Amino acid sequence: MTFTCEELNQATNLDGVDYKLIPFHYTHLNMMEFRESEYSLINSFIDYEEKIKTCPVEGLSFSGVCFGDIVCCFGIIPLWQGVYEAWLLPCKDLTKNKLRFHKSSLKFFEYVADRLNIHRLQINVNRQNCLAYKWAKKCYFTEEGLLREYGPDKSDFYIMSRLFNYNEKE
């Protein structure tokens, strides 16, 4: 199962005009200015261009648009039944849209978890990226452990997860 942008715009309460989701395309990344932590990660990949062209899954990867500007690219990747990994590359300055971005993210996670019967959604957060770590915690992800020398530059990452219990009967 995959999702349309129209469906997700409605599910996340985006108006579809000034704030909307569009299908991700790797060229969107060239339209964004990143924070130093994202540039550092991107520049440490040997095959970044090829990875970003082939890794995102159509219908599960999107770009967020705010008044015509791409402000983030994100998606989920299926690992196996009920388990997905989320990814996100935000633009440098989300401050004026931070609350809308956060609320939409929470609704996105809930919506896709429900529709795909996800019981585990996981993310990897660079240990040095305090903003990403704080945001993950506010999205109800919990730290599970430290992945030492995990990054392409041998940086440490936290593995964090959010569990959903849609398949359990109460």
Tokens of 39: 């540039």
List per-residue pLDDT tens for the chain, 170 residues long: 899 999 999 999 999 899 999 999 988 988 888 887 787 777 777 777 777 777 767 889 999 999 898 988 899 999 999 999 999 888 887 666 777 888 899 999 999 999 999 999 999 999 999 989 999 999 999 999 999 999 888 999 999 999 998 555 43
3-state secondary structure of 43: helix
User: What are the boundaries of each domain within the chain?
Assistant: 5-163
Tens-digit pLDDT profile for residues 2-11: 999 999 999 9
Dihedral sign from CA coordinates of 12, 34, 142, 24:
positive
Separation of alpha carbons 125 and 57, rounded Å: 20
Instruction: Give burial (CB, 10 Å; 0-12/13-18/19+) of 122.
Output: middle
Task: Give all strands of the β-sheet with 19-23 in edge-to-edge order.
Answer: 19-23, 61-66, 69-80, 83-90, 120-126, 157-163, 142-147
Separation of alpha carbons 30 and 77, rounded Å: 22
pTM of the full structure: 0.87
Q: What's the pLDDT at 169?
A: 41
Q: What's the pLDDT at 93?
A: 77
Determine the distance from the C-alpha atom of residue 97 to the mean position of all C-alpha atoms in its chain, rounded to a whole number.
Answer: 16
Question: What CATH architecture does domain 5-163 belong to?
Answer: 3-Layer(aba) Sandwich (3.40)
Q: What's the pLDDT at 95?
A: 63
Q: What's the pLDDT at 167?
A: 52
Largest CA distance in the chain: 48
Tens-digit pLDDT profile for residues 87-113: 988 888 766 677 788 889 999 999 999
